[in-house]
Structure 1
C-alpha cells in the first residue's frame, strides 16, 4: 500500500518520479503528489484519484528540478482528499510517508502548543512539523532525532530547501530500497519503480536512515553509526513489468504461470536420484530432524497456498501442520519453541502481520523458513532460510502466478522433508517429480481454454452470488477461486468444503445460484460427484472442473471445464488456473479495473 519514489541526479526529476509512480500503481492508492526542488524552492503538486489526474495537473509545467520525491497514498489516517494527499510540508521541509505513526495525536498536541498549525488529518504531517521543530542546520540529524520520538511504522523521503543537494530516507516496518545509478540515486518502496534506470539496489534494514546525493549514499543504523549494506543486482527485465500485448497485467500473469513454474522448480531436483535440493542454512538443515510440528502462517492468497502445503507436508513428511492467518496468529498466546518449524509465506516479503508473527516465534526459538518472491525483502532477510518463488514481478493486485509458484515451492519442500525423514522413498519421489516437471505443459492446455471459459463468464457475469466447492487438496482452490472472483469482479462468492455443503450452504441453492464444483479424479471423486447430485436436486447451476474424458459428471453438470489428467496432488495447478481465467473474464466483461480493484492494495504493509 502506498508508493514512494525519490530521485536526485541530473535528469528531470518530475519525469523520473511520475514514471516511477506509474510503475507502483499496482500497490493501490487514492491520491498522488510530487514535491520538486525547483530553483531551490519546494513546489508541491497533489491530486485526488488516479495518477492521470496528477499528470494532468503538471502537464503544462516545464520543471527544471533534478531532485524530488513522489507518492501515491492509500488512506489510513484521514479520508482520501486533496488536503490529506502527500507530500506534506512544514516551512522549509517536505516529506512523503508510508506506514502508520501510533503516537501521532500526542505529538500533534505538543507541536500545536509550539505554534505549528495542521492542514490535514494525517499522521504524516505530524512528522514534517516534528522534523522542522528539531532542525538546527543538519537535515540528517533532524530526521534522526524525530525518528527517536516516533512509535509505529514508516518509510520516509525527506527534502529541505536549505539542503537541496540531498534527500534523506528512512524505514521501519515498511519497505524502502535504494537504486544506485551513475551520477544519480533513487529511492523507492518497490523495485519496479526504478528498474528502468538501474539494476543495482541496496535494501535498507529496519531503523536505517540514508543520506543520498548525486554522487552516492551513506547509511546509518538506528544507533546512528554508519554501516554498509550489501548491494544486489536484480535480473528482472523492465519489460517483464509491462503488459506485453495483454489487455491487463492479471491476464499476462495468468499466462506466465508455465514459465514461472519452470523458473521456480529449476535446479531444485534430480529425476535420476529422486532427491530435492534447497539452499538452507547448515543450522536449519541439522535442526529439521528434531522438528515435531510445523506452522504455516500467511494472509489472503498466500494462506490458501499454505492450506495446500499442509496436505503435501503431512502426506510426504508425516509431520503435523497447522495453517493460520497471520493477523489472528500474532494475537494469540503462542506456543513455540526450538522444535517448531515456522513457514512464512508472502509474495512481497513485506506483509506486516506475517512479518510480525514471524518475529514473535523467532524470539521464542522457532526455526523460520520463508517463501516469497522479492529478493532482499524484510521477511526474506529475517528468516533463517528463504525459498524464492522466482515468479518475477507480479503487478496485478489479485495474485495468480505468485500463488502457483508458492504451491510448487511447498510441494518440493514437502518432498524434501519426506526424503530427509525417510518417509518418502526415492521411487515415490521420482514419480512425483516426473509429474511435476510435466505440469507447465499441462497448464498450457488449460490456458488454451480461455475462449471457452470466457463464454461461461459472459453467461454468468451478472450473477449476484457464487458458491465454490472442493474437497481434499482442492478445497483450498475453492477458497482461492471464490476470493479471485470477489476481489476483481465484486461478485459475492464463498468457498466451501464440498462435504460441508449440507451443513448450511445448501439452504442457498436455487435455480439462480451458480455453483463451481472442482471434481477432478482422485480419492474423493465419488464423494464430490454426490455433492453435485445434491446441488442439481435443488435446481442449482453446476459448473464443474473435471478430468478430461469424464463422462459421469458431463451428464450431470450444466457446464464442464476439462483439464488434463494428473495426480490428484498436482491437479491444483490446473484447477486454480481455470478459476483465475473465469474471474478475470467476469471482471473484464463488467468493465472493471482488473489490475487495481477498489479498496485493495498489492502489498499490505500495515495491520
Structure 2
C-alpha cells in the first residue's frame, strides 16, 4: 500500500503536501514524490527513501512553486524501491501525472498493447499504464478522458491525477481503495487517510466506488463516472491533531502502548451501564437478523487482528452454544466452508481498509452471510459494506505494529460475546457479572501493568540484544498471546521469534533448544499452570534461559525459571490483554536497543490495501 495526498488552495502546495505525507508515512516509506503546478506547467520531484529525503532534495535544489499539487509515499508492490519507480508517474509526453495506490490487475495486457502502439515504459510498476492510457485516449477534455479510461482498469485502486493542459485541476478516484476529500476554507485536500488532514480540516467526504472528485479553484464536485452530480454528505473527523503528534515520546509505538488505558476507556465508554452491556448498533442489526437464525460464526482477520479473533473465539466458545471458527482473511476468501444466510461473519480490521479482509467480507456477503465489522475507522470501506459496524474508538494508531488495536479488538469481542449471550442463551448470571466487572476494571489493570513492567522489560530487552532467536510458549489463551508476542518481536526487533503451544515443544521443537537460548514462558491461565511448570522443567533440563510471566501471588513458576515477572491478575478470559503489555514493551525495547526504527519496520506498512 501507499499514501496519496493532494492540495489546491492559496498556500505553498509543496509545504502542505510534504506535511501531509509526513503524517501518512506509516503507509509507505520506500520512496516519495510530488507534482506541483504553478497554473501554467507541472513540475515533478521524486526521491528514493523517506519523506525527509525528498524534503532535503527540494531544499538543496529548488522549491516547487505553485498552489496545486499531488504527492505520494510508496510501499512497493510492483517494482523495487527506487526513484525511477516512485510516483508521480507520467507519460512520455508529460501530459498526465498520476499517483496510485492499489493494484492494476490487468496491467500486463494493457502494457503489452501500449508497447505495441509505440508507448515506452521507464518503470517496473503496474501504475505506469495509467498515464499512458490517458495519453493514448486523450480527447482534449481532461474529465472525459479520465471517464473513458477508468473502465479499462481492473483491480482496486485510488488515483489522484493532474494534466498539463489543465494545470488548475485535480481528479481523484477511489475504487475499493480509500481516498478522502477534505474541505477547507478556500482550499481542498485529498488523502488516503484522515490523519494527513487533521492539521488543516475535519470536514471530509470518502470518495465511493464509481465516483470521481473534480477539484478546481472554484469548486469541489463529486460526480459518478457517468457524470451525474452527487451532493456529498460530509463527515466530521472525531480525532484531534494532538493525537497524531509524538509530543514527548520518541516513537509512536511507545506512545500508543502507554495510551492503552485511555483507549480501552474509550472503547468501553457508554457500553456498560448498570452492569449490562449496551451495543445499540448490534440491537438494530438483530432486530432485522435474529441471532437465532445463525448456526455458525466465522471470525476473520490478518496478523494481529487474527490473533484478536482467536481470543474472541475462546470467549464466544465459553458463552455461546454455536460453533465459532477463526480464519485468516487471505485464506478464508478461497478456502471456507458453506456460507449462506445462516452464517454470521465477523471481520476485524484496525484500518477498515485491509484488502484481504475486504475481499473476504465481499465473499461472505455474496454468499448470503450476514456481517459485523469491528474497526477503528467508521468511514472505511469495510465499515460501509458490513451489515453492522462496531467501532473500536481507540483513536489513531500510527505505528506499523498494532498495539491499541489488539487490546481494543478483544475488548469489543468480549462486549459482543456478552451481548449475544444475553440475547440468546441462558447464561450463568454470576459468570457474566464477573466478566462485566472485569471489563470495567480493565483500563486500571492495564495501567497498573504498565507501571509494574516497563522498567523490568527494558532490562530484559538488553539480555536479548545479541540473541538471534527467541521462543515464546504458552497453553490455551497464553499460546495465542505467545503468537502475538512473537509477531511483535518479528515486526520491530527483526528477531527470529517463534511461538509454540507449550505441550507441543517436546514433539520436535525441543531440538532447537540450546544452552542460553531465551524462552518466554507465559502462565496466566490458572487451570493450566501446573502443566506449564512441567513444560518449563523440560526446557530447563536442556539449559534454556526461561523468563516467566505470571500473575501476582503465584509462586509456582519462581522455582523453575531464571527470571520472573509478575503482572496484575484479571479475569482469565481477559489476560491476553493484560499480559500483552509486557510483550509489546519487550518488542519496542528490543527494537530500539538494536537501533531500529520501530515505527517504520523494514518491508512493512500499516494497513495493506493490496492482496
Preserved contact between residue 203 and residue 235 of structure 2 (Cα < 8 Å)? yes
Task: Kindly report which structure 2 residues correspond to 1:407-556, keeping only aligned pairs within 5 A, or say none.
Answer: 407-448=410-451, 449-556=453-560
Task: Kindly report which structure 2 residues correspond to 1:254-265, keeping only aligned pairs within 5 A, or say none.
Answer: 254-265=257-268
Task: Kindly report which structure 2 residues correspond to 1:212-223, keeping only aligned pairs within 5 A, or say none.
Answer: 212-223=215-226
Preserved contact between residue 479 and residue 495 of structure 1 (Cα < 8 Å)? yes
Per the TM alignment, residue 333 of structure 1 is displaced from its structure 2 partner at its CA by 5.4
For 2:272 and 2:325, how far apart are their aligned partners in 1?
26
Preserved contact between residue 486 and residue 492 of structure 1 (Cα < 8 Å)? yes
For 2:112 and 2:455, how far apart are their aligned partners in 1?
60
Preserved contact between residue 176 and residue 204 of structure 1 (Cα < 8 Å)? yes
Structure 1 residue aligned with 2:212: 209
Which residue among 320, 328, 331 is the counterpart of 1:328? 331
Structure 2 residue aligned with 1:557: 561
Per the TM alignment, residue 496 of structure 1 is displaced from its structure 2 partner at its CA by 1.4
Look up the SS of the partner of 2:330 in the other structure: helix
The verdict on how the C-alpha distance between 1:39 and 1:208 changes in structure 2, with shifts beyond 3 A counting, is closer
Per the TM alignment, residue 239 of structure 1 is displaced from its structure 2 partner at its CA by 1.2
Structure 2 residue aligned with 1:64: 65
Structure 2 residue aligned with 1:389: 392
For 1:3 and 1:593, how far apart are their aligned partners in 2?
19
For 2:433 and 2:608, how far apart are their aligned partners in 1?
38
Preserved contact between residue 184 and residue 213 of structure 1 (Cα < 8 Å)? no
Structure 1 residue aligned with 2:53: 53
For 1:548 and 1:216, how far apart are their aligned partners in 2?
62
Per the TM alignment, residue 35 of structure 1 is displaced from its structure 2 partner at its CA by 0.2
Structure 2 residue aligned with 1:311: 314
- The reply on whether 1:590 has 2:594 as its aligned counterpart is yes
Per the TM alignment, residue 510 of structure 1 is displaced from its structure 2 partner at its CA by 2.2
Structure 2 residue aligned with 1:238: 241
Preserved contact between residue 401 and residue 492 of structure 2 (Cα < 8 Å)? yes
List runs of 5+ in structure 1 lacking aligned partners. Answer: none
For 2:418 and 2:103, how far apart are their aligned partners in 1?
41
For 1:212 and 1:581, how far apart are their aligned partners in 2?
44
Per the TM alignment, residue 422 of structure 1 is displaced from its structure 2 partner at its CA by 2.4
Per the TM alignment, residue 128 of structure 1 is displaced from its structure 2 partner at its CA by 0.4
Per the TM alignment, residue 37 of structure 1 is displaced from its structure 2 partner at its CA by 0.6
Per the TM alignment, residue 334 of structure 1 is displaced from its structure 2 partner at its CA by 4.2
For 1:573 and 1:564, how far apart are their aligned partners in 2?
11
Preserved contact between residue 276 and residue 415 of structure 1 (Cα < 8 Å)? no
For 1:426 and 1:276, how far apart are their aligned partners in 2?
16
For 1:384 and 1:282, how far apart are their aligned partners in 2?
10
RMSD: 1.5
Preserved contact between residue 358 and residue 368 of structure 1 (Cα < 8 Å)? yes
Preserved contact between residue 33 and residue 54 of structure 2 (Cα < 8 Å)? yes
Shift >4 Å, 4+ stretches: none
Look up the SS of the partner of 1:166 in the other structure: strand
Could you report, residue by residue, the CA deviation over 1:2-60 in whole angstroms, capped at 9, with x for unpaired residues?
11000111111001100010001111221110000134211000001111110011115
Structure 2 residue aligned with 1:344: 347
Could you report, residue by residue, the CA deviation over 1:453-494 in whole angstroms, capped at 9, with x for unpaired residues?
100111112211111111122221100000000110111011
Preserved contact between residue 284 and residue 384 of structure 1 (Cα < 8 Å)? no
Look up the SS of the partner of 1:164 in the other structure: strand
Could you report, residue by residue, the CA deviation over 1:481-536 in whole angstroms, capped at 9, with x for unpaired residues?
00000110111011111122222212212213211111125221211222111111
Preserved contact between residue 461 and residue 590 of structure 1 (Cα < 8 Å)? yes
Structure 2 residue aligned with 1:85: 86
Structure 2 residue aligned with 1:16: 16
For 1:438 and 1:333, how far apart are their aligned partners in 2?
37
Total equivalences in the alignment: 606
For 1:88 and 1:358, how far apart are their aligned partners in 2?
32
- Larger mean Cα displacement after TM superposition, 278-287 or 476-485: 278-287
- The reply on whether 1:36 has 2:36 as its aligned counterpart is yes
Which residue among 171, 174, 178 is the counterpart of 1:175? 178
Per the TM alignment, residue 374 of structure 1 is displaced from its structure 2 partner at its CA by 1.0
- Larger mean Cα displacement after TM superposition, 116-125 or 214-223: 214-223
For 2:500 and 2:482, how far apart are their aligned partners in 1?
6
Look up the SS of the partner of 2:64 in the other structure: coil
For 1:230 and 1:432, how far apart are their aligned partners in 2?
40
Per the TM alignment, residue 62 of structure 1 is displaced from its structure 2 partner at its CA by 4.0
Which residue among 112, 115, 118 is the counterpart of 1:115? 118
Could you report, residue by residue, the CA deviation over 1:388-432 in whole angstroms, capped at 9, with x for unpaired residues?
111111010000011100010001111111111123244432221
Per the TM alignment, residue 332 of structure 1 is displaced from its structure 2 partner at its CA by 2.0
Structure 2 residue aligned with 1:5: 5
Q: TM-score, normalised by structure 2?
A: 0.97
Preserved contact between residue 275 and residue 419 of structure 1 (Cα < 8 Å)? no
Look up the SS of the partner of 1:561 in the other structure: strand
Preserved contact between residue 184 and residue 215 of structure 1 (Cα < 8 Å)? no
Per the TM alignment, residue 548 of structure 1 is displaced from its structure 2 partner at its CA by 0.7
Q: TM-score, normalised by structure 1?
A: 0.97
Look up the SS of the partner of 2:437 in the other structure: helix
The verdict on how the C-alpha distance between 1:188 and 1:450 changes in structure 2, with shifts beyond 3 A counting, is same
Structure 1 residue aligned with 2:167: 164
List runs of 5+ in structure 2 lacking aligned partners. Answer: none
Preserved contact between residue 89 and residue 98 of structure 2 (Cα < 8 Å)? yes
The verdict on how the C-alpha distance between 1:222 and 1:338 changes in structure 2, with shifts beyond 3 A counting, is farther
- Larger mean Cα displacement after TM superposition, 101-110 or 8-17: 101-110
For 1:408 and 1:438, how far apart are their aligned partners in 2?
12
For 1:456 and 1:278, how far apart are their aligned partners in 2?
44
Preserved contact between residue 478 and residue 525 of structure 2 (Cα < 8 Å)? no
Per the TM alignment, residue 250 of structure 1 is displaced from its structure 2 partner at its CA by 0.1
- Larger mean Cα displacement after TM superposition, 494-503 or 12-21: 494-503
